[in-house]
Structure 1
Amino acid sequence: MQYRTLGKSGEKVSAIGLGCMGMAFAYGQRDDQESQATLELALDLGINFWDTADMYGQGYNEEQLSKVLATRRKDVFLATKFGFRYKEDGSTYFDGSPDYLRKACDASLKRLGVDVIDLYYSHRVDDKVPIEETVGAMAELVKAGKVRYLGLSEASANSLRKASAVHPITALQSEYSLFVRDIEKEILPTARELGIGIVPYSPLGRGALTNTLRDISSLDPTDFRRNLPRFQQEAFEQNLRIVTALEKVAGDKGCTLAQLALAWLLAQGEDIVPIPGTKRRKYLQENAGAVDVQLSNDDLQSINSLMGGYQISGERYSEGGMKLVNR
């Protein structure tokens, strides 16, 4: 495994991190035994940057990680997130208030079984609470020794500037992949100006950039992708044309499509640390192998040229979900 420095923290994290959401939430049935084995293999492979959130399985994912952290805490750079709350009907709303985040942090520490969280993110930006108030309360957690570094997720350039004026922001976690590149225009340059590391989530397009998903009818009935615009039949079939074209590029490079997609992200800058999510060892090993894929400038130009010939079909979230991003 290769390692990169996360933002201005000085911390060395694996160039490929591990998104743990799918172990407990959103992607069909759980397999706790395989998830446990995947976490243990991650450490054997040198993948030390783990990402979770308190909403994943309503805290269950943090509890899953605690079983490994109990004996391997020093080997993990641990990130979790707060802010999404559940209503009685199962729907969610976002709460970035100081009172709530203090309680959320204590609850996460307890579920994770740790004394300190390495990187604590606000899962979104609350449009009803000034970002300065949210980050100010997060900074108090740093002073209290409960959190080491602060992060934001899906924040706009303006929010990054306001937040950074209150306390250093170590990382911005936003969706970024060959399919989703909207942060490149303003957010990415601002983050770089401020010394904020970039942590792309869904770097494999929620499985679309792996070529393992060719038929959405094969998805588990509980899989949240069934409700996403990009995974509706017409949009999905259009995007498969892009996947097929990229698959040929990957074949020419002697790697899988997933490895190509991750290598492309890694090549966008040393400040980028993608966190592909998986709950299976075989995909974890495949993802880890992306660090060995070297893309030349000609390769990158070829991929960008190829992508320029297509239009990505379908939004990445529902209309309500889209209102929560880049704000």
Structure 2
Amino acid sequence: MRYRQLGRTGLEVSEVGFGGAGVGHVWGETSDSECERAIRRAVDLGINFFDTSPMYGGGKSEENLGAGLAGLRDKVVLATKVRLHSEDELANLKSAIRSSVEQSLARLRTERIDVLQIHHQVGPERGQYLAVASPPRYALLLTEADCLAFAEAAQGLIDDGTVGFLGITAWDGDGKVVRALLESGAFATAQVLYNLVNHSAEAPPPPGFDDVDQGQALVAARDNNIGVIGIRSHAAGALVETLDREVAADSDVARDHARAGRLSFLLSETMPTLSAVALRFCLDNPAISTVTPGIKKTAEVEEAVRVADLPPLSIEDRNKISALYQNQFSG
């Protein structure tokens, strides 16, 4: 396993991280015991960055990580998040943040959180966005001022050692607001969406782009020495041969899964699955500190670590991927 600097935090994190949604039973079927085995196997194989949220399975992800990391806490970098559920919580940030953190600490069986992240999309005006499609669940869309107020309110947790660093969720946010937050100095990390079918965190999207523009967040992060946590490396589970759950025919996952079918030329003896190719593609980007695929089984851990040991994709293959992306996988 290779390790990279997490921006200016001074933390060294494994280039393959552990995305915690899977062990919250969010991505397909699994069991708590299998989740715990996967977590411990990840540590055995050198994965030291674990990312979770109270929102993953209603706390189930944090609970399983707490169980799986029992006795291993000092070997890992642990990141979780805060989701604010009402305008009232926004008006009482200190108490809302502390309450969320205390509950996370209990579930994670730890006394500290290395990276505490705002689990909200951001925009120029406060509002709501669809956080979960089915059944529909909405979350608060926060402004730049809201996020800076969050950072100020969380400072006490940093001062007393409960929290190490603060981060934002940059995916699907307004590009100007994301850049302003990354330039503010208040945040040390950012979660950034980047994968085979959406490169807009790195460069302006092509004509006809029908996904969410990630606003060149990777560029803004690099310019401000922000640690980048790469998310949605597999496009919410779409970049695989067979989906692990039923999805609506008109969903983004269905669209991206169809596009994945155009990438079969990338399969080889060493990378026989689209899942492997999807991870390798993200690992090849030096702007990303750690890539956090959603993991729920031991076999997925072992496959991710195996892919990390493979050589980068060839320039020829990357050029072919870029050409497909520029044409939005049509023609």
- The question of a shared fold, defined as TM-score above 0.5 by the shorter chain, is answered with yes
Distance in 2 (alpha carbons) for counterparts of 1:13 and 1:272:
7
Match of 2:251 among 215, 229, 247: 229
TM superposition outliers: structure 1 runs of 4+ over 3 Å: 93-99, 155-168, 225-228, 252-255, 309-312
Give, in whole Å, the separation in 1 of the partners of 2:183 and 2:98.
21
Deviations 1:127-148 (A, max 9, x none): 3662210121223321121101
Structure 1 Cα separation of the partners of residues 192 and 90 of structure 2: 18
Counterpart-to-counterpart distance in 2, 1:122 and 1:60: 19
Match of 2:113 among 107, 114, 117: 117
Distance 2:219 2:184 in 1: 20
Q: Tell me if 1:260 matches 2:294.
A: no
Alignment of 1:157-176 (within 5 A): 157-164=175-182, 167-176=185-194
Contact 1:157 1:190 in 2 (8 A): no
The whole-number CA distance in structure 2 between the counterparts of 1:24 and 1:205 is: 18
Corresponding residue of 1:319? none
1:8 counterpart = 2:8: yes
Instruction: Name the counterpart of 1:289.
Output: 306
Aligned to 2:261: 244
Alignment of 1:89-100 (within 5 A): 97-100=93-96
In 1, the alpha carbon distance for the partners of 2:69 and 2:270 equals 37
Structure 1 unmatched runs, 5+: 88-92, 313-327
Query: Are the equivalent residues in 2 in contact too, given 1:131–1:162 (CA < 8 A)?
Result: no
- Map 1:44-55 to 2 at 5 A: 44-55=44-55
1:162 Cα deviation after fit: 4.2
Pair 1:127-2:157 in alignment: no
Matched, 1:149 2:165: yes
Counterpart CA distance in 2 for 1:95 and 1:203 is: 31
Q: Does the aligned pair in 2 maintain the 1:83–1:94 contact within 8 Å?
A: no
Q: Specify whether residues 26 and 110 from structure 1 end up closer, same or farther in structure 2 by C-alpha distance, changes over 3 A only.
A: same
Query: Identity across aligned pairs (percent)?
Result: 29
| Contact 2:279/2:307, CA 8 A, preserved across alignment | yes
RMSD of the alignment, in Å? 2.7
Contact 2:18 2:294 (C-alpha < 8 Å) held by counterparts: yes
Aligned twin of 1:275 = 292
The one-letter code matched in structure 2 to 1:101 is I
Could you say what secondary structure the match of 1:181 adopts? coil
- Distance between the aligned counterparts of 2:297 and 2:4, measured in 1? 24
Amino acid at match of 1:169: F
Is the contact between residue 4 and residue 270 of structure 1 (CA under 8 Å) also seen in structure 2?
no
Alpha-carbon separation, structure 2, partners of 1:193 and 1:149: 19
Q: Distance in 2 between matches of 1:94 and 1:204?
A: 33
Change (3 A) 1:290 1:143: same
> How many angstroms does 1:21 deviate by?
1.0
The AA in structure 2 aligned to 1:16 is V
Residue 26 of structure 1 and its aligned partner are, at CA, apart by 2.7
Q: Is 2:307 aligned against 1:307?
A: no
Counterpart-to-counterpart distance in 2, 1:175 and 1:81: 17
Residues 113-133 of structure 1 show CA distances to partners (whole Å, capped at 9, x for unaligned) of: 111101110011443662210
Report the Cα distance in structure 2 between the residues aligned to 1:309 and 1:167, rounded to whole angstroms.
37
Q: 1:156 to 1:138 in 2, by over 3 A?
A: farther
For 1:24, the equivalent position in structure 2 comes to 24
Larger helix fraction of residues: 1
2:102 is the counterpart of 1:106? yes
Give the aligned length. Answer: 293
What is the TM-score when the length of structure 1 is the normalising length? Answer: 0.80
